[in-house]
Structures are given as structure tokens and as C-alpha cells.
Structure 1
Amino acid sequence: MAEIALIVSATSLAVLVWLALGFARLRSSLKDPVAAVAPLLEEKHRAMLTDLHIGLTQQGDRLGRHLTDSSERLSAKIDQRLDQIAGKVDERLDEGFKKTNETFVNVMQRLATIDEAQKKIETLTGSVMSLQELLGDKRSRGAFGEVQLEALVRNVLPPAAFELQYTLSNGMRVDCALRLPPPTGLVTVDSKFPLENYHRMFDREADQVERAFAQKQFKADIRKHVDDIARKYIIAGETSDGAVMFVPAEAVFAEIHAYHPEVVEYAIGRRVWIVSPTTLMAVLNTARAVLKDVETRRHIHIIQEELGKLGVDFQRFDERMKKLADHIRQAHQDAEDVQVSSRKISQRFQQIEAAEIEEKPPANVVRLEPDRK
């Protein structure tokens, strides 16, 4: 508004200056002749200036009102547009905040999952370190193998079929003795864990010579364990003619059977069978099946006696069933006879109601024949 008023004022001033200059030129050209009409011209001039001033004032008022109306309409449109923009901005902000909140919740859940996994990894790392420390000692490895052997045997066989830390007649104590029926008899199972040289065989920091030497020592360890088991735990007349060497690590067992068949053949020659946790489960399941078959054979006479009793009871049941069938058949026949009698009685009642009874003459009345002419 201030700029518009300034423009109008400048325009009015320019018109006044232009009129003043024109009047001056006209006055200088006329000089004395015009002096007589100077008051008239001056009056005309003042009237024109007054009219011009009034016209400019009215024009300025109209322009001011128009600009005010335009400014108000423009302000209203701007306010409306700003309200729309603000609404959309608020809506976008709400959506963005909602999505950000959902993303934050998902991130927190993922972080919680990662934190839980990290704790499990730390626990597992500690367990692995503890297991490495446990397996690093020879006596600890032996205890680990005995515990694993005990768990496998207890899960498969009944308590009467085995004994842990069994002492033989020669004073030797075996980890586990399986009591199987004749002719197998007592089967000894001992746990061995040849782990030191096995680790040296796969040590990346060792050279080829050291690995070859470790492999040689590994086979020597297996042979020594086989000899110890065959010498200590196979006793003629007391145990079976063979024993079981339990290796509690599947990797060690696989290494022996895959790359050292001569050691396996040597063990078989000494009547020692090398097993892992998996293969020992198969052996124990077979032993359980044998025990179950023996128990079944032992109680076969009881089973036969019970089957005989069951046969007698079934024969008695068959006879009683036949009698019951005869009674049911007779009852059915009697029911049919009663139904026939009932039907006849019903028909007779119907005839009586319909007065269809035939008249019969008394027995002492004699009918006379009509005379014939």
C-alpha cells in the first residue's frame, strides 16, 4: 500500500510540474497581453489543479480499495493454501513419524534378537573353551567318554542288562559290562579317546613331517588301546570272545575307518570292535532285541497256557452264543405266531362289527322238504 501511494504522489507531482512549466512558457510568450488574463488563467489553473487533485485522490482511493480487496482475497487464498499445505505437511509428518516409529520398533526387536544371539554365542564360546580345556587333559577325556557311554547305555538297555565300572576276576575294572544271554555272555565295553595326535594331524601350523609323525603316532595309539582291551577285558570262560572299544568322537571314528583300514583289521584280529556313539546305539538296540526275544522264549509256556485258557473261554462263549441264537430264533417264531393269531382275532372283530355272522341252525332242528306234486 505504501508503494502504491508513493507512485500516485509521484505521478501527481510530475503532472503539476508539467503544468507549471507549460504555464510558464505560455506566460513568457504572451507577456503583457496575457497579463490582463493572468488572474483568469491562474484561477483556471487552480481549478484544474483542484480537479486534478480531487481526481487523483479519488483514483488513489479506488486503487487503495481495489488493492485492499485484492490483498484481502490474496491473503485469504494464501491462508487457505497455507492451511492445505500445513494439513498435508502434518499428514506427511504423521505418516513419517508412524513409519519411523515402526522402523524404530523393528530395529529394537532386531537389536534384542541380536543381543540374545550374542549372549548365546558368548555362552557357546565359553562352553567350547570349557570343552577344549576339558578335552585337553587325558583324565578329563576319559571321564567325558565314560559319562557319554553311561548315558547311551542307560537310555537303551534295562538296568539288569548292564553294570558300570564292572570288576573282572583278574582285578581289572571295565567301564561297562553288558549281560547278554548265552552263548554271547558278558560283553565288556571300554571308552578310549585318542585325541592329542589326532589334533596334531590337522594342525595348520605343523609341517608335513610333523603331520606324518602325528599320523603314525595316532595309529600306534589305536593299536595300544586295542591291545590293552584285548589283554585286560577278554577272559576265556568269563567274558565273551570279543570286546568293544568305544570312541566318543564321531570324527575320530570316521578318520580311523576311512583312512586307516589296517588298524581296523588289526582290531578285528584281536577280537576288538571299534564303535562310535552312533554305531554303539545300533549295537545296544540289537542287544535289547536279543534280550526281549530271550524273555519271550522264557515265558513261552505261560503264553501258551494263557492262550489255552483263552481258547476254552472262547469255546464256552461260542456255545452260549449258539444257545442265545436259538432262543432268539424261537422267540422270533413265537412272535410271528402271536402276530397271526392277532390278525385273525382282528378280522373276526371286523366281521362282527359288519354283522356278517352266518346264521347256523340248531343241531336238534330238522328241516322239512317241501311236498312235491
Structure 2
Amino acid sequence: MIDPLLFPIAVLACCIGLAVLLALAWSRLGALVAARDAAAREAGELRARVEALAAQSSNLERDVRGDLATARSESAAAAVAARAELATNLARFSQSLQQQLAGMASGQSEQMQHFGLRLAELTRTNQERLEAVRATVEQRLDVMRDENARKLDEIRVTVDEKLQATLEQRLGASFKQVSDRLEQVHKGLGEMQTLAAGVGDLKRVLANVKTRGGWGEVQLATLLAEMLTPAQYAANVATRPGSFDRVEFAIRLPGKGDTGVPCWLPIDAKFPLDHWQRLQDATERADLAVMDASRKALDEFFRNEAKKIRDKYVEPPHTTDFAILFVPTEGLYAEMMARPGFADTLQREQRVLLCGPMNLAALLNSLQMGFRTLAIEQRSSEVWKILGAVKTEFHRFGDVLAKTKDKIDQASRTIEDAGVRTRAIERHLRDVESLPEHDAVRIIGSIAPSADDGAGTP
């Protein structure tokens, strides 16, 4: 049960609270009304500002449009003015260029005229000089012609005199020689008769096969002796080791390496005189059958001999891979070489080279050149040694030369020092008064002996 005393207090408290709440609500309501009024005023101000900004914007737009129109008109006017100025400048430049071109053309024309005049003057001067030179040359040629004519006359007189004397002398000598020759002819007729008898003996000698071979060997030996030295070939050489077959001649070629064992080039001489004589006789009689038979016999003879030479004498590496079959007469060699492919067949199948006197001489000459080249190569090592010694001595000479240069430089520096001291003495003596020349000679002459005496006295 509520206390009756507290009830009025509670009611009073409620009333007070309600009054406080009403006061607060009224004050809040007043603040809201004030705020609404302030907001209304601000909204009015904002509306006024917006309207002012809109007016300013319309004014600004109108100003910008006016400025743009003005700028457009000014740009158009400036473009027109620039175009007009450009056209004016172009016209001025064109006129100036035309004037310059006209000036250059006139200047070039004047220079061309000047050059033409100068060229004409030079041409005239050259012609005058050439005329002067030609006149001088003609004058000197006339003098030389006269001198030559005079000398030729003198020479002609001298030659005529000498020819006359020589002719008389030669005619006398010729008549004497003719008489001597006639006497020798008479003697020769008797010798010819003896020789005719000897020819028959020679035919009988050549009819012997062994003698014919000996004659070919003699001719081959003579040719080798003329073209090579005795150390470069040998006779009767056994070219195949262990064989008793000996080739007539063999050329000594250098072997491989430094062993000193030679490599031989076999050469054998063959002369089928009977077949060759039959061919010659048949050719003189125009006997075709005998000519063909003789040619076939010659072919068979040389083929067989080439085969024998290959089998007996060719043995690489002790020999070359080919041998030489020497034909002692050019006529027989030409006959065999005139047959198509015969020499190539011998060389290809039998490894034998067919040679006559002329081409064997050429081959020996080539071998001689090869021997000389080989000798030069063998001596090249000695030359290199000599050059090495010379190089060593030259280095020593360079050292001596460098020492000599140092001595010369030292002497040059000493002379330079003496020059420097001389110039220093001259600078110190510059203020000293010079004596006359005769007094100086007298004083120096009197001082020099006393100085020598003082130097010689201990």
C-alpha cells in the first residue's frame, strides 16, 4: 500500500518532470523554427546566387561568341594579309632570282668571251712559238744534214779507198785460193775414188747386225758426252738387281731420300738397217707391196725391241718407270713417228719412249737443267748456313755500331758542354775591352812559350 505522503511528492515530481520536458520541447521547437528560417534564408541566397551565375553564364557565353566571331574575322583578315604578303614576297623573290640569273648569265658570257680571247691569244702565242721552234729545228736539221753529207762524203772517199785496196788484196787472195782449191779438187778426185771403194766396205760393215748396233751406240755415246757430264750417266749398267742384262747407257738420276742410291733411266740404241734400206729402195721404185711389207717389219721390230727393253731394263724404283729406245737417224725416227698412235702405243703398253737424235738432245738438255736445279737446291743449305753466320756477324756489327754511336753521342755531349762553357766565358768577358789584333797576337805569342816551359818544368 502506497504511502499517502509520497503520492503528492510523486505527482509533484511528475509535474516538474513534465514541465521540464515541455520546456525542453519548446526550446527544441524554437531551435527547429530558427533553423528552418535560417535554411529558408540560405535557400533564398542560393537561389539568388544561382540566378546570378546563370546571368553571368549567359553573359559569358555571349562574350565568348562575340570573341570567337571577332577572332574568326581577324584570322580571316590575317590569312588574307599573309597570302597577299606571301604573294608579294614570291614575286619579289622571283624578280630577284631572275635578276641574279640574268647577272650570272651576263657574267658567264663575259667570262666566256674573256676565255675565248685568252684562248685565241694562247693559240696565237703557241703557234708563234711552234713556228720559232720549227724554224730552229729546220735550221739545225739543215746544219746537221750538211754536216752529215760532208761526213758521208768523207766516209765514202775513205771507204772507196779502203774498198779499192781491200778488193785488190782480196782478189789476189781469192785467185790464189781458187788456184789452191783447184789443186785440192784434183787431189780430192783421187780421194773420192778411194772413198768410193770405202763406201762399199762401209755397206758391208753395216750389213752386220752387231756392227750396226755398235754404230748406234757410238752415236748415242757421242750425244750423251756432249750433253751430260761423265758423273751424270754410265755405260753397261745392270739396272735390275740380280740380273746379268746390262743396258748400253743409263742416266743417273737422284734417288729417294738421302741414301745416295741413284735411280737409272735406261737408254738403248737400235738401228734396223736392212728393213730401213728395203723401205728406202721400195720408195724409190714406188713398189707399194714392198713398202707395206717393210713398214710392217719395222713395226714388228720396234715392238719386239721395246718389249725386250721393258723386260730387261725397267725395274722401278731402281729405275724410272720408262726407258728410251734411241733411233740413230732422223729419217727412220720421222718414219716411225709418222704412223698414227705408234709411239703412244709403245709408251702406253711397253713403257718405252721412242727418241731420235734431235728430241733426245732436247730431253738431255731438260735433264741437264734439272741437274743444275738439283745442285742449286743441294747448295741452298750451305747458302742458308752462310746467311746465318752473316746474320750473327751482322748482329755483332750492330752491337759494335751501337757502342760506337754511344761514344759519338758522348763526344757530342762533351762538345756541347764545351760550347756551353765557351758561351759562359764569352758572357763573362763581354765587358772586357778587346785589344787590337796585333797586340793580342804579340801578347798571346809571348805567353804561349812561357806556358809551355812552365808545363815542361817539374
Query: Normalised by the shorter chain, which TM-score bucket?
Result: 0.5 to 0.7
Q: 3-state DSSP class of the match of 1:202?
A: helix
CA distance in 2, matches of 1:105, 1:299: 55
Change (3 A) 1:212 1:310: same
Which letter maps to 1:265? D
Instruction: State whether structure 2 residue 282 is matched by structure 1 residue 211.
Output: no
Identify the residue that residue 116 of structure 1 maps to in structure 2: 184
Match of 1:305 among 362, 366, 385: 385
Match of 2:279 among 201, 209, 216: 201
Which letter maps to 2:331? A
Instruction: State whether structure 2 residue 347 is matched by structure 1 residue 265.
Output: no
Kindly, what percent of the aligned residue pairs are identical? 26
CA distance in 1, matches of 2:309, 2:288: 32
Contact 1:230 1:272 in 2 (8 A): yes
Match of 1:177 among 250, 254, 267: 250
Return the TM-score normalized by structure 2. 0.45
CA distance in 2, matches of 1:235, 1:226: 14
CA distance in 2, matches of 1:104, 1:157: 46
Deviation at 1:118, TM superposition (A): 5.9
Matches within 5 A, 1:9-158: 107-116=175-184, 126=195, 129=199, 132=203, 134-158=205-229
Return the TM-score normalized by structure 1. 0.54
Contact 2:268 2:324 in 1 (8 A): yes
Contact 1:222 1:263 in 2 (8 A): no
For residues 173-213 of structure 1, the C-alpha deviation after alignment (integer angstroms, 9 at most, x for no partner) is 11012221246922211111122222222222463322222
Q: 3-state DSSP class of the match of 1:232?
A: helix
Contact 1:223 1:266 in 2 (8 A): no
Instruction: State whether structure 2 residue 303 is matched by structure 1 residue 223.
Output: yes
Q: 3-state DSSP class of the match of 2:265?
A: strand
For residues 197-241 of structure 1, the C-alpha deviation after alignment (integer angstroms, 9 at most, x for no partner) is 222222224633222222222222222221221222223554322
The structure that has the greater radius of gyration is 2
Contact 2:263 2:317 in 1 (8 A): no
Contact 1:267 1:273 in 2 (8 A): yes
Q: How many residues align?
A: 255
CA distance in 2, matches of 1:287, 1:280: 10
Identify the residue that residue 11 of structure 1 maps to in structure 2: none
CA distance in 1, matches of 2:182, 2:438: 106
Consecutive unaligned residues of structure 2, counting only runs of 5 or more, are 1-169, 257-261, 427-433, 441-458
CA distance in 2, matches of 1:159, 1:106: 45
Change (3 A) 1:104 1:207: same
Instruction: State whether structure 2 residue 345 is matched by structure 1 residue 277.
Output: no
Deviation at 1:154, TM superposition (A): 2.9
Which letter maps to 1:209? A
Contact 1:244 1:272 in 2 (8 A): yes
CA distance in 2, matches of 1:287, 1:121: 45
CA distance in 2, matches of 1:104, 1:285: 46
